[in-house]
Amino acid sequence: MSLSGAWYLGLSAIVFTIGAIGLLVRRNVLIMFMCIELMLNAANLTFVTFARMLGDIGGQAVVFFVLVVAAAEVVVGLGIVVTNFRRRATTVADDLDALKG
Amino acid sequence: MIHAALLLASTRPTWPDILVFAASAAVILVGSVGVVTSRNPVHAALSLVMTLFGVAVLFIEQEADFLAAVQIIVYAGAIVVLFLFVIMFLGVDRDEDIVIEPLAGQRPLAVVLSVITLAGVLAMAATAHWVTGAHQVVGPIQGHVAGPGSPSGEPAQLGKQLFTTYLFAFEATAALLVIAVVGAVVLARRPPTVHADPEDSDQSELPA
């Protein structure tokens, strides 16, 4: 029998927090994307943990959909980054200030 | 009855389980801290692979074998490779200065707010009653109870649910992927005539 679900939930909460800190602190758009992936993974771990705790396969099915949405998000997001890099030659979010009033 | 499943999960864990959890937790934490603190985007991507691998091990530990395989194949095999491809393609794979703090006081504020959020989540997790409705909504996890010759186990259960209960969502993800592919192609395509924008005339246009 595996460890109780509380350990997994605590770990995923910590990983989610680290991802949130990175998203708030870092300026590079690519690394901000990776931090979003960290947060999505923490949520996935929570879903799988609840699926085991409650004995319900539905949690694992949701993780499957999260994976698909993450893949689509990364494809479109990186496309935007590449398009932006062609015009501005930067991946730093602070330099994208064309809409500044 | 609701608490029966929670009590089931709190039976005594064995030493291998504890060791596996501790090792993967260490791998996950080191990797995720590495993503946030790496100066080089390539190192951050490799730390992300480390984290994803640890999460996959924890998936296996929690009887989600199929999702662990998908995690490795899709995340580590496709998404991170896509990240690395874009990093190399743009040529931003060099160290950046992360010591300078462009917005004064932002980092301490971000850390404090995130830690407050973490404390709130943990406090809620420690005091909450998890199940408010029906115990099993979709279906049971029936891993490792397979009879010989019959498709069963957790992947079969998951597949059955995906094509029955979640069929509409499954088809919607297919549409989502097609839309994402079309969007990526449209984004990556160079316009046939680049208009000379006076606002951007000082920016150096990259060669095609």
CATH domain A5-90 topology? Helix Hairpins (1.10.287)
- The answer to whether B60 and B93 are in contact (CB under 8 A) is no
Q: How far is B128 from chain A (nearest CA, A)?
A: 12
Q: Is the Cβ of B88 closer than 8 Å to some Cβ of chain A?
A: no
Take residue B125 and report the two structure tokens written for it. Answer: 């997790």
Q: How far is B138 from chain A (nearest CA, A)?
A: 5
Q: How far is A26 from chain B (nearest CA, A)?
A: 7
For position B128, what pLDDT does the model report? 76
For position B194, what pLDDT does the model report? 59
B1 pLDDT band, cuts 50/70/90, is very low
CATH code for residues B11-96 = 1.20.120.1200
Chain A residues within an 8 Å CB radius of B133: none
Residue A12 has pLDDT above 90, yes or no: yes
Mean pLDDT across B118-130:
82
Contact B67 A35 (CB under 8 A): no
Q: Residues B42-82: pLDDT tens digits?
A: 999 999 999 999 999 999 998 888 999 999 999 888 999 99
Contact B35 A35 (CB under 8 A): yes
Tell me which residue in B102, B130, B138 faces A57 most closely, judged by beta carbons: B138
Tell me which residue in B10, B82, B199 faces A4 most closely, judged by beta carbons: B10
Q: Is the Cβ of A66 closer than 8 Å to some Cβ of chain B?
A: no
More confident residue, B156 or B170: B170
Give the nearest chain B residue to A7 (CA atoms).
B21
Lowest mean pLDDT among A45-49, B2-6, B99-103: B2-6
Share of chain A above pLDDT 70, in %: 98
Angle, CA B172 vertex, CA A49 and CA B83 arms, to 5°: 65
- The answer to whether B120 and A13 are in contact (CB under 8 A) is no
For position A99, what pLDDT does the model report? 78
Cα-Cα-Cα-Cα dihedral sign, residues B61, B65, B71, B72: positive
Q: How far is A8 from chain B (nearest CA, A)?
A: 8
Residue B9 has pLDDT above 70, yes or no: no
Residue B146 has pLDDT above 50, yes or no: no
Contact B75 A19 (CB under 8 A): no
Instruction: Look up the pTM and report it.
Output: 0.83
Q: Which residue has the tokens 């109780």?
A: A4
Task: Say what the ipTM of the complex is.
Answer: 0.92
Give B78-85 contacts, CB < 8 A, sequence gap 24+. Answer: B78/A71, B79/A37, B79/A70, B79/A71, B79/A74, B80/B45, B80/B48, B80/B49, B80/B52, B82/A74, B82/A75, B82/A78, B83/A30, B83/A33, B83/A34, B83/A74, B83/A78, B83/B41, B83/B45, B83/B48, B84/B42, B84/B45
